Amino acid sequence: MHIVFRVDASRQLGTGHVKRCLILANELLERSVKVTFISRNLPGNILEEMKEFTSSVIVLPKLDSKLSQLDWYRRYWEIDIAQCIERMKDMEEIDWLVVDHYGLDFHWEQRMRQRVKKIMVIDDLANRNHDCELLLDQNLVANMENRYDGLLPKRAVQLLGPSYLLLDKVYRHSQTPPRSHTVKRILISFGGSDPTGETKKVLQAITIVRKKEILYDVVIGSSNPDKPLILEHFGHLDGIRLFPQVPSLAPLMLKADLAIGAGGVTTWERIAMDLPSITIETADNQREVLNHLLQSGVIYHLGKGEEVTVKQIAVVLNKLLTDPSIVQRMIERISLFKDDFMLTTENPVVKLLVGEEDDVRN
At residue 287, φ and ψ (nearest 5 deg) are -60, -50
Quick one: how far is CA 354 from the chain centroid? Answer: 23
Q: Three-state SS for 24?
A: helix
CB atoms within 10 A of CB 235: 12
pLDDT of residue 358: 64
**How many C-beta atoms surround the C-beta of residue 326 within 10 A?**
16
Q: Which H or E run includes 253?
A: helix 250-255
Q: State the pLDDT at residue 180.
A: 86
pLDDT for residue 199 is more than 90: yes
Q: In the 8-state DSSP scheme, what is residue 318? A: H
Q: What are the helix and strand counts (H, E) for the chain?
A: 13, 13
222 within 8 A of 46, measured Cβ to Cβ: yes
Tell me what the mean pLDDT of segment 165-186 comes to. Answer: 87
Provide the pLDDT for residue 361.
Answer: 56
**What is the pLDDT at residue 62?**
96
Question: Distances in Å between the alpha carbon of 111 and those of 9, 105, 107?
Answer: 23, 10, 7
- pLDDT digits 0-9 by tens, 83-96: 999 999 999 999 99
Residues of the chain with pLDDT > 70, as a percent, come to: 97
Tally of CB atoms within 10 A around 200: 21
Q: What is the mean pLDDT of residues 235-243?
A: 92
- In this predicted model, what pLDDT tens digit does every residue of 306-316 receive, in sequence order? 999 999 999 99
Residue of 143 and 263 predicted with greater confidence: 263
- For the stretch 36-47, pLDDT in tens is 999 999 998 999
Cβ burial of 360 (10 Å; 0-12, 13-18, 19+) is middle
Q: Is the pLDDT of residue 74 over 90?
A: yes
Query: Could you tell me which of 125, 261, 283 has the C-alpha nearest to residue 195?
Result: 283
Radius of gyration of the chain (CA): 21
